Each structure stands twice: as C-alpha cells, then as structure tokens.
Copies of this chain bind each other. A is one copy, B any other.
Amino acid sequence: MAKDYVVGIDIGGQSCKLGVVDARGEVLAQSVIKANASTDAQVIVNELAAGVKELIVKSGKQGQIRGIGVGAPNGNYYTGSIAFAPNLPWAAHGEIHFAQMLSKACGDIPVSLTNDANAAAVGEMTYGVAKGMKHFIMITLGTGVGSGIVIDGKVLYGSDGFAGELGHTRAVRHNGRLCNCGRSGCLEAYCSAIGVARTAREWLEATEEPSLLRDVQEITSKDVFEAAVQGDALAKRVFDFTGRILGESLADFVHFSAPEAIVLFGGLARAKEFLYEPTLKALNDNVLPLWRGKVKLLFSQLKESDAAILGASALAWEL
C-alpha cells in the first residue's frame, strides 16, 4: 500500500498535539494528549504511541503512514534526542533518546525529530508563506524566542544539531536584562511574550503615565496587545520598542545568511499590526545598504491550531 500520509507531533510542556497529515497539508485527524503527569520518559512515550495508533485508526490510514515527525524543545535532529529541556519534566535532567523510543513503541514506524522552531520552519517552507523559498529565517515569538534557519532549502543544523539559537544572541550588549538561560541581554529577554510583559511592567513602574494596563494584575503580553488595540499609547510604545529591538537583531541575522525573507511565527506574531512597522524600520535602518528594502518581513499564515502539527509532520516527508 502506498505510504502517502505522515504523523506530526508537537511536544509541549503541558500537552502534546498529534495529527495525521496528507501531502497537501490537510490535517485529517488530530488529538491532544496531556503529557505533564510523569517524570518517566517511557511512560510519556507509551502514552504518545497509544495516541498515535488510535489516531491512525481514526483517520482510516492504517498501513499508509510513511513516518512520524516530532517537534520538541531542545530536540536534536542528528541524534533524535531531547536533552535538558527545562519545560519537560521527563526530559529535564538528561538526554532522552526519544525518536528511537517512539519508533519502537509505534511498531517501528520511522521517526524524525527536531526542535520546535526548526519544525515550524519546515512547516512554513512546505505549506506556508515560505513555500518555494530557498533561504529564509523563521523566528518564533512565543514564551521564548526560537529560530529555524533555512539555507538552500534545508534547515541548518550545524556541526552538532543545535544551530539556530538566535533567541540567545545578544540584543542588548550592556546592562541587558537577565534571560532565563542565565546570561544577559538575550533577544528572548526582550522579544518574547514574557519580555513584552516585562517591558510594560518596567515602564509602568518607572513613570506615572496613564495606561489601561494600570488596572491589570499580572500583566501578560496578551494584555499589552489588547490595550494597544484599544489605543493605549504606552502599550503601543511597548510594541514599538519590541519591534525596534527585534529589527536590530534581524539586521545582524541578514548579514549572516542573506535570506530572502524573515518569517515571524508564534503567539506574539499575532500583534502584527503593532510590530510590523517598527520591526521593518529597524531592520532596514541597520542593514548594509545592499540589503536595504530588499529583505521581506513576513508573518506566518498557517492556521495556528494546525501549525505545530504541520511543522512536525513536514519533517516526516524526508524519511
């Protein structure tokens, strides 16, 4: 029987999303599995394998699955391992040979694994705004800032599988904010959802400026976005600032790989109306003249609920 379908799995700290996908990027069936209950990787793998089998049956494509693609925090394409992933209790303290374990538990269906940002880049190239592009950089703006770099139509994995940690390049060189990684000034400390909320809180504390955000407890990036939508000046300036920091860093990335486009993806990318202009301006203000006005700044248009599954599933086509 022709194997014309793949499974995509997006591994998250709270839950894992699974989908059976066809070659055009249609998700035929999907499910969500809670995966925060155990610190034992084998238990998680077994639960996932059961979920995969059930989903394949539900999709009616038994025997037609070419492979399983997995996107996971700290996932390594070369080794198939997930190592020291702080948000995954079952993979926080060592190296889990996840691809091999899952393949075995699924009756030897081949499994390909990479980190979530690389998976997103593959998804965007296979099904999204980067379709047909040979050189682009995907930046995922979520709780953290991740990246997937595509060169000559292939994800850049580097010498060890860990290339593309652009969220931890230094956006601010002196007196930069402490980042989750323990270093300071990282792009992630400014341009993640957490960074946006932090900017807002710092500014509210530093001034007396009126703002809708003063009524909010425990400000999140979503609050800042909603305040900006309502015309709140401080909230809008938070996005101006975030876009400027982001665009300055994007300029450096352009000097590295000369991409034809940069694609923004993830929760924070939904604030396109506020982020687009300041990010693009800072990008163009900070590149060498030869790239000024030439690099496209795009926002992912993949359906948010499908995007993670699609990205992971796209990996499996290469198996």
Which A residues are within 8 Å of any B CB, using their own CB? Answer: 84, 134-135, 149, 151-152, 154, 156-166, 168-174, 181-183, 248, 251-253, 255-260, 286, 288-291, 294
Q: Report chain B residues within 8 Å CB of A162.
A: 258, 290-291
- 7 closest A-B pairs (Cβ-Cβ)? A158-B258, A163-B258, A135-B159, A159-B260, A169-B252, A173-B173, A165-B255
Q: Report chain B residues within 8 Å CB of A251.
A: 170
Contact A170 B256 (CB under 8 A): no
Contact A257 B156 (CB under 8 A): yes
23 CB < 8 A contacts A-B: A84-B290, A135-B158, A135-B159, A149-B257, A152-B154, A159-B259, A160-B260, A161-B258, A162-B291, A164-B256, A165-B255, A165-B288, A166-B255, A166-B256, A168-B288, A169-B256, A170-B251, A172-B173, A174-B174, A181-B288, A252-B252, A256-B256, A256-B257
Q: How far is the CA of A290 from the CA of B84 in the complex (A)?
A: 10
Our pick among B84, B168, B173, B258 for the contact of A174 (Cβ within 8 Å) is B173
Q: How far is the CA of A161 from the CA of B135 in the complex (A)?
A: 11
Give, as a whole number of angstroms, the nearest-CB distance from A223 to chain B.
29
Give, as a whole number of angstroms, the nearest-CB distance from A267 to chain B.
22
Give, as a whole number of angstroms, the nearest-CB distance from A101 to chain B.
22
Q: Report chain B residues within 8 Å CB of A158.
A: 135, 151, 257-259
